[in-house]
Each structure stands twice: as C-alpha cells, then as structure tokens.
Chains A and B, each alone.
Chain A
Amino acid sequence: MLYRIEKRSDISKEKSIGIRALAILLALITSGAFIFLLKLNPIDVYLSMLDGAFGSPYRIRETIITAIPLLITSLGLAIAFKMQFWNIGGEGQILMGAFFASFIALNYPDIPKPILLTLMMIAGILGGGLWALIPAFFKAQWGTNETIVTLMLNYIALKWITFLQYGPWRDPDALGFPKVPNFSPNAILPKVFGVHIGWIIALILVVLVYIFMKHSKKGYEIAVLGESENTARYAGINIKKTILVSIFLSGSIAGLAGMIQASAVSKTLAVSVSGGMGFTAIITTWLAALNPIFILVSSILFAALIRSGSFIQTAFGIPSAAASIIQAMILFFFLGSHFFIKYRITRKTSAKIAQGGE
C-alpha cells in the first residue's frame, strides 16, 4: 500500500469549504459528461438550472416555498436524531399534522382568521406530536425499534388520508373527483412579500430550535441521552420522560409543517401535502450535521436543486429521471466530500518528529 487513510485531527474552515467546492465542481463535471450523452451542452443546462431556481422573483419565491416544509421538518428531525432516535416518520407526522389542522379548518370555516389559524396550528402541532408519540412510547416502555415503527406509521397515515379523500371527507361538489373540499379563505395563511407566512415561522423555528438544542436543559439532556443511556441514568435524567418529550417536539414540528402545507400550498387536505419531504428532510438534516443554522442553508440549497431539476425538464425536454440523476450526482459528491473532510489520504513517508503518545 502506497497510500493510506488517516484521520484528520483538525481542519481549517477554508480547507473544508475548499473540499466542498471541489466536490461540487467534480459533480458538475461528472454530470456534465452525462448531459453530453443526452446531446446537450452542459454549460447551458447548468446556467438554466441556476436560472430555474433563482432566475426571477417568481422562481425565487417558488424555491423558498419548496424550502419551507423541508426546513421545518428538518428542524424537527434534528431533535430526534440528536437523541439517536431515528425518526424516519416525518412523512406521517406531516400528514397527521395536516389532518388535525384540516379537521379544524373544515369544521369551523367561519371563525375569524387569526383565531382559526392559531387553532389550526395548535391542531397541527398536536397531530404530528401525538403521531410521533406512538413510537416514542413503545421505545421508552419496551425498547422497540423506532426505525421500523416510525416508517410503518408513515404508511398508515398516508392510507388514512387517502381513505378520507375517497370516503368520508370527499367533496360532493367535485364532480366525482376524489378530493377533500377546499379550505375557506379564513383558513389560508396570509402572504408576506409574496410568499406565505410559513417562511417567517420557519425562521423563528430555526432560532428557537437552536436555543433549545444548545442552551436549554432539555436540549442538553437529549444530547447526553443520545450519546449514552448509562451516563444519562447516572446523571439522574428521567430517560422515559426525555424520550417522550423530545419526540413529541420532533413530531409536532413536522406536524406544523403539515399544517402550513395544507393551509398555504394545497389549501386543502391531500396526500400530496407531505410530498416526500419527510424523507428528503433526513438528507438535509444530516447534511447540516443537525445544526439548525446549517439546516437553513442545506434546505434552501436542496429546494433549489429540486426546482432547477423540474425547470430543466421543461426547458430542455429531458425526462424527469435525467434531472433526478443530475440531482443525485451532486448530492452524492457532496456527501462523499465529508469523508475527505474527516480523513486525509497521504503517501507513506518516513515519520516526522514530534511529541510521543499512544
């Protein structure tokens, strides 16, 4: 072996940014080769991707609207992941949040807007939180595997919403089309600067989650418990309570995202409110290493990638699968760069002289 891998003891900010930039460059070159195969000019495609995500005020707004549920759900997941509770039930929690909020919106369409929206938010928070509480309770009580339970609950939530859509909540005026009636105008979130108010809620949540994770007692307990249950017990942390509280929080934030999507984007309850965001958020959360500030960045970038992907589909007439390949390639290289940030590959040389150690 001429080369070997060794762990970096520390890395400067410039260097780590440099490695990431290089990764993206390599991703662009590699997917460039792929675009070339489609008989297109890679540079044109890349420029129009940029154009598609940020090229006009409308497109910027669309990117932000895509980023909002991703960002909020990621913040929720980060809390669970910090405790090493693998909540992959974001989808289900979004849907149940949307369901609870819709229940209020459809049954009390005429109460004044501020009150109705507040009630919907509370309902959304409860919906997502309670849905997440199911796996949390099983985990705390009997140590069940949360990965399986949260994943399975996604499908239950999904089918439940489908059932409502086709059954009890079906809109009789929709000409046979299986959909839930639209919300009343009172149940629609207002817009600020052309984008629904969800973006402000998301930014507030970034700050709140940051403070919660870094400076609150509960956040500290979650971090300790995530690292070692024994240590948590030793320090007198109530383990069951901490699991229940933090997973309720995690799910309730996802549930709030569901309420926002139902109210501001679909303007009704539909299976599409989650739109795979519960899964995509896992990626953005990990990309950001669970840090709320970085989650903000990763969510916006990821949303841009989604928007630009759908833009080039129409602009160049390429199949959606091709756009997905480009997205995946960029993601793959970016994730791969983490390895080079943590480790370095060196040529074998004779040793340098320094202090001894084990």
Chain B
Amino acid sequence: MSTENPYLKMEGLTKTFGKVIANNNVNLQVNKGEVHALLGENGAGKSTLMNMLSGIYTPDSGSIFIGGNNVKFSSPKDAIDAGIGMIHQHFKLVDVFTAKENIILGQKQGGFFTNNKKMGQGIRELSQKYQLDIDPDKKVYDMSVGEKQTLEIFKVLYRGANILILDEPTAVLTPQETTKLFKIIKRMTEQDCAVIFISHKMSEVMEIADRITVLRKGQTIATLDKDKTNPKELTDLMVGKSVDLSIKRIETPKEEIALEVKNLSVLNEEKVQVLKGLNFNIRSGEILGVAGIAGSGQKELCESIAGLYPVHEGEIIFKGENLVGKKPAEIIAKGVTMSFVPEDRLGMGLVASMNIVDNLILKQYQAQKGFLINRKPAIAKAKEIVKRFDIQTPGIYHPIRDLSGGNIQKVLLGRELDSNPELLITAYPVRGLDINTCHKIYDLLNEEKKKGVAILFIAEDLDVLIELCDRIMVIWDGRVSGILDAEKATREEIGLLMVGEKSDKTEGAYAI
C-alpha cells in the first residue's frame, strides 16, 4: 500500500479548549481501502481528532486534505458532503422511525414529499453492494444492537461516505456480532472505502487493522504497520512506558455463601418481565463475573439487589436475610454497595454539579444524626481518596463535572470501596478507562476479595472476566444461560451463551 498519496491527510492539527490542549500538531494519513486503527488512552485526543474530521469542531490550526484537496469544515454537513461518515458509539437513531425513515432523515434531496419507490430502490442497491442486511420497514425499537449498528453504517454509506469513522463500535456487541461487523468492514474496504477504527481492545485492533496510529497526550506517537508490531509494543507506546498486561486471579479459601438469589424475576414499567427467574449465589471472597449483551437484565439485576427496582417474585438472601422489600437506605446500611457506571458515567451515583466532598456525603449523610450535615469527615475522606486513587482534580471543592471521565469514575469507586462493603456490586467499573487505571481497579477488586468481600462484577470485556473472576455467570434475555468456571471458560463458549445457546459445561443446577 502506498503512502505517497494518501486519500485522507490531516496535517499539524491543533485544538485547544481553554487552557487544555486536546490535540497538538497531530498528523494522520489514511489510504483508500485500508482499515486504520486509532489507538490511545482516554484523553489522548482521539475523539477530538475525529470530531474535527467530522466537522463538529473546527481546528485552531492545521489542515485536512481529502484526495489532495484542502478542505475546511464549518459544520458536520460539510464533512458529510466531503464523504466523511462518523458512526458514534451511541447510536443516533430515532427509535420510533423505521430503518428507511432514519436513513432519509436530514437528507436534502428531493422535494417536500419523499419518493418511496425510488428510495426503496436506492436502499436495495446499496445493501447489495455492501451486502448489508437491512429491512427498510423495521422500526428501530425492534432492532437488536447489531442491527442498529448496521443501520448506522448504512445511513452514512447512503449519504455517500467513503471515509468511515467507527468510534469504539464493538463495545456493545457480542463476539459473534463483532465478527459480523468485521466482515462488513472488510467489504467496505474492498469497495475502496477508508475506515478509521477507534478501539481500546487490542485483540480487535490486531485482527482488523492494516495500520495503526497511536496517540498519546494529544500528540501522534507513531504510525505502524500491523504486521510489524505486536500488542505489547502498542500498549507501551500508548501508555508511554512499559506495562504489565496480565491480570491476576488470586486464590482465596472457599468461604460461606454471602448472597443467594433465588428465582428472581422483575417486571419493567410496561409490565414486561425483564428478569425471568434468576438463580445464583456468591461466596464471600469470590468474584462472580457477569457477561451478557447490553440490556440483558444487568441493570435490573443490580438495581433489584440494591432495592431500587421492585421485585416481582423470588428472594435475595444476603447473610441469611431477605433483602426483598427493604428500602435502599436499609440495604446500604447492611453493607451492600452498588456502583453502576452508565454510558454517560454520571447518570446514577454521582451529582455532576457537586464537588467531591458533597458526592462522598451522598452515601453517608443519612447515618448522621440531627438536622444538619457534618462535612468534616467527608472532607478528610475526599483528601484521602484523591491521594489513594490519584484523582486529577484542581481541588476537592471542584465540581466533578469538570473532571475527566476516568477521574469521575474513580470518585465513584473510591466512595463505594471506602464504605467497607460486604457485598460489592460493580457494573462496568472500567468503562472507558485507560489501561493503567483499569489494572488499578482490578487490583482494588482483588484487594476487596482478599478481605472476604463478595463481588458481583459486570463487565463488557470477556478476556478480563476470564482472567479476573472465579466464576462467570452469563445472562441472556433476563435468564441465566450458564455459570462457568472462569479458569476453564473460553470466549467462544461465553459468546454462545450470551445469545442463548446452551452449553454442556455449565453448572447443571443453574442452567436453564
């Protein structure tokens, strides 16, 4: 592949936000027909760079060339016209519209009315060209995550994009859906599209990318051919120093069962059963991992144990006591702590406009006596947590909204671990964190495990689950589709269970 005449060339791009330099003299060249991976930790400037490319931000200085022409985008529309299509991590689709309606949304072509026949034809042609499987009349709310993503890709292709940016596209997919996505990407490059692939997951980058550019602290560190590098080198480049990538599973003696969930089922607001009779247990000093496609009931499971979701049927026995029907405050007082890191990282558990001190108070002020709040213990705690978790903040009285995502998460986790829980429920604690911090958090979980805490760990990365947990429970469609011994589990096996295929290696009693 020649790099003499790259299709897309970004030269000396710089972007600052106030005093923060997000991108400093970044260079990137992408050829037609290649998958170019963009690798970097959180805050390395990947999103800023891509937002400039898609016209959301305008660069302070530097130039973008497409096919040799210097282009200047003042709005996303300019970028779309230039053939750049961005597929965001969070889908930008209208739920109640059909696939077709979503595709034409915002299109200028044609008159006031839409020409259904012509459009249907256009969609069919395009779906044949790229072999994208799409039902134009299906409503978005009826689609699976994979289908929605295909639709997103289709949408930008329909608008004539030939440079596609995929921002962490696999975060919400099962291994099987990921394989499918990679096939689509391959087909796009065969049609001479250029694909920019942003990901944290090294294994995927190594699988799909042709070339890899590493960003660190807003600067381009290196662009490498995939064939001439390895994960270890890439990680070291990303982090800027040599890192150890292994996760330890520490051995603890078998203790008694701390939490036993029996036949748990819950209904959502529409009276649809979202948990359908879950059975599992966790011992003290054990990490039970939970794998499953996003939206299989993870959130409901966490919330029902924490007393935030009404339980329809079943029991949640914690240390011999049924938690069902107890108020959240009572459950917190019993030593159960739940931290759920949602996609926006702030939705539940933290108050964005408040400072670290006030966020720490959230879980303990109710235990205080009297009418007024005593902030002194929390101030000391805040200082301690900032130091222990190495939280980057201008001060403990600074609104957490201004901190970076990783630091916000550390505040949340710091508070939860600090309460000395006996049962720790943590969902997606490393969502979007850089490698170093991820490993710090795995170490912290191991530390809690050593102390005899029972841990329910919900995560996206199957490799991490396999390496860190004692057992892995796979849920699918509100059911337990299997509980595996993590030491013997494989990605493929978990992947099959995630879509509801039975496995013969599961613990018999808990299989469906």
Q: Interface residues, chain A, CB within 8 Å of chain B?
A: 1, 4, 6-9, 211, 215-218, 220, 223-224, 227-228, 230-231, 233-236, 348-358
Contact = CB atoms under 8 A, between A and B. Distances in A.
A112 B74 CA distance: 74
Nearest to B353: A227
B198 to A, nearest CB: 13
Contact of A233 (B44, B328, B352): B328
A223 B354 contact: yes
Contacts of B91: none
B351 A357 contact: no
Nearest to B347: A230
Contact of B368 (A217, A223, A235, A350): A217
B343 to A, nearest CB: 13
5 contacts: A6-B17, A223-B351, A234-B328, A236-B329, A356-B22
B224 interface: no
Given A350-B14, A354-B20, A358-B48, A230 B372 contact: no
A234 B327 contact: no
A357 B218 contact: yes
Given A348-B60, A356-B45, A358-B45, A224 B21 contact: no
The 3 closest A-B pairs by CB, nearest first: A356-B218, A236-B329, A356-B217
A351 B14 contact: yes
A7 B362 contact: no
B218 to A, nearest CB: 3
A7 B331 CA distance: 41
A206 B301 CA distance: 45
A349 B351 CA distance: 36
Nearest to B340: A234
Contacts of A351: 14-16, 21, 24, 60-61
Contacts of A211: 372
Interface string B350-365: 1111100010011101
B150 interface: no
Given A231-B351, A357-B45, 6 more contacts: A217-B373, A228-B351, A235-B366, A236-B327, A351-B14, A357-B404
A74 B306 CA distance: 38
Interface residues of B, number: 55
B28 to A, nearest CB: 16
A228 B347 contact: yes
Contact of B22 (A220, A228, A357): A357
A7 B368 CA distance: 38
B47 interface: yes
B444 interface: no
Interface string B254-295: 000000000000000000000000000000000000000000
A292 B331 CA distance: 36
Given A216-B372, A356-B219, A358-B48, A235 B15 contact: no
A348 B22 CA distance: 16
Contacts of B14: 350-351
A106 to B, nearest CB: 36
Contacts of B348: 228, 230-231, 234
A136 to B, nearest CB: 21
B169 interface: no
Nearest to B218: A356
Interface in B316-352: 327-332, 338, 346-352
Contacts of A353: 21, 24
A345 to B, nearest CB: 13
Contact of B44 (A217, A218, A356): A356
Given A223-B351, A227-B353, A236-B366, A358 B19 contact: no
Given A1-B74, A224-B362, A228-B347, A354 B19 contact: yes
A6 B16 CA distance: 10
A306 B292 CA distance: 63
B43 interface: yes
Nearest to A9: B18
B66 interface: no
B407 to A, nearest CB: 11
B112 interface: no
A355 B219 CA distance: 11
B42 interface: yes
A343 B20 CA distance: 16
Contact of B308 (A227, A233, A349, A354): A233
B371 interface: yes
Contact of A8 (B18, B331, B363): B18
A215 B349 CA distance: 21
